[in-house]
């Protein structure tokens, strides 16, 4: 299954971008042995509309253009379901084993995701009750993708 990330906003050069790249590189190298191929991170410009609802709607339109056809959608949203690492890995593994070709994880802009995207998602994922900056969300997501591969392969990186 090909795994991609769509994010509203761009990461600037610095330690956050380096850490995301490190985990995604690990995922890209270890994933194929488990049937997971990293496709790419697609960064989209933030809307400059004057109100939050319009910004979310405009960003959703751009996100939808970037989603592969029939992809399994995972939307990150503070009102989503909180999973532990093993539950997240099991969710990914179930869909991989059921023959899903693409999985896309969506990180919205500063105002969140438009309701239309949340409705299309097969999983709305919450990374905890705390509020996280988008740079850290990318780090957490990249690390959890790598951790899922280590769980599948029985690698000692994940200690349960």
Q: Give the annotated binding-site residues for S-adenosyl-L-methionine.
A: 76, 108, 127-132
Helix (H) or strand (E) holding 52: helix 52-66
Of 39, 25, 4, which Cα lies nearest the Cα of 146? Answer: 25
Tokens in use for 106?
């969506």
Binding residues: 76, 108, 127-132
| Angstrom distance (rounded) from CA 23 to CA 42 | 16
Residue whose pair of structure tokens reads 């059921």 in the numeric block: 98
| Angstrom distance (rounded) from CA 75 to CA 128 | 14
- Total H helices, total E strands in the chain: 5, 5
Helix (H) or strand (E) holding 5: strand 2-8
């Amino acid at each position: 299954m090909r795994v991609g990330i769509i994010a509203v906003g761009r990461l600037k050069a610095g330690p956050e971008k380096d850490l995301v790249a490190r985990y995604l590189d690990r995922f890209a190298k270890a994933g194929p042995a488990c049937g997971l191929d990293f496709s790419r991170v697609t960064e989209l410009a933030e809307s400059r509309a004057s109100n939050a609802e319009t910004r979310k709607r405009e960003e959703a339109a751009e996100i939808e253009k970037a989603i592969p056809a029939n992809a399994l959608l995972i939307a990150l949203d503070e009102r989503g379901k909180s999973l532990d690492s093993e539950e997240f890995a099991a969710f990914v593994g179930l869909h991989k084993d059921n023959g899903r070709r693409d999985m896309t994880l969506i990180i919205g802009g500063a105002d969140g995701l438009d309701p239309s995207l949340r409705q299309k998602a097969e999983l709305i994922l919450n990374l905890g009750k705390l509020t996280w900056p988008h740079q850290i969300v990318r780090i957490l997501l990249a690390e959890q993708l790598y951790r899922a591969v280590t769980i599948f392969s029985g690698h000692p990186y994940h200690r349960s």
